Amino acid sequence: MTEKEKQQAGELYNAADRELTAERVAARKLCAEFNATTYNDYQKKERILDRILALRGENTKIEGNLFCDYGYNIVTGSDFKACGNIVINDCADVVFGDNVFIGADCGFYTSCRPIDAEQRNSGLEYSKAVKIGNNVWIDSGVKVMPGVTIGDNTVICGGSVVCEDIPSGVIAAGNPCKVIRPITENDKM
């Protein structure tokens, strides 16, 4: 089994593997090209996103800088919008549903290090997928940790660190992020 196959299976793998290193370099070059593209050159940005992301729905907008490891593990639904400085550590799948809005300076992380020092010091790591449902708003400065699923129709308040799954239809905040309350009809303006 190759290191990439181990990575995709969620097993311990060596990230310094030549194939994985080459793929990270290629993705980072594309991100650098995307980030250097003039703000209003929408067509060029769209073409670059098509080369970076595995799949993207209609009306995918990423404003400002994008940083990812591979790109081929990232899927965005329709009407996806991310503000500046989004980091997607996509060693495993990172899937965003439809109508997802992400504030500035947010990060989505999939890579993990072993707790055992000997394994960790040998350069091994593993990854866990991140899944974001439909109609989710993730405010600025949020960090979503490996293995987390955020349900549909949920709001994650700014600065939160999401370490555990968050259900659908709630407002959640904090470090660690916890459910504050359900979203109700009273929340309509």
What are the tens digits of pLDDT across the range 36-94?
999 899 999 999 999 999 999 999 999 989 999 999 999 999 999 999 899 999 999 99
How high is the pLDDT of residue 24? 98
Alpha-helix runs per DSSP H in 9-115 = 18-36, 42-52
- Those residues whose C-beta lies under 8 Å from the C-beta of residue 141, and which sit 6 or more positions away, are 103, 104, 105, 106, 158, 159, 160
Q: What domains appear along the chain, each with residue ranges and CATH number?
A: 3-184 (2.160.10.10)
Does the structure show a pLDDT above 90 at 18? yes
Which pLDDT value is given to residue 145?
Answer: 98
pTM of the model: 0.95
Maximal CA-CA distance, the chain: 54
Q: Which residues of 104-116 are buried (b: 16+ CB within 10 A; e: fewer)?
A: bbbbbbbbbeeee
Q: What is the mean pLDDT of the chain?
A: 96
pLDDT at 189 over 90: no
Q: How confident is the model at residue 8 (pLDDT cuts 50, 70, 90)?
A: very high
30 residue type, one letter:
L
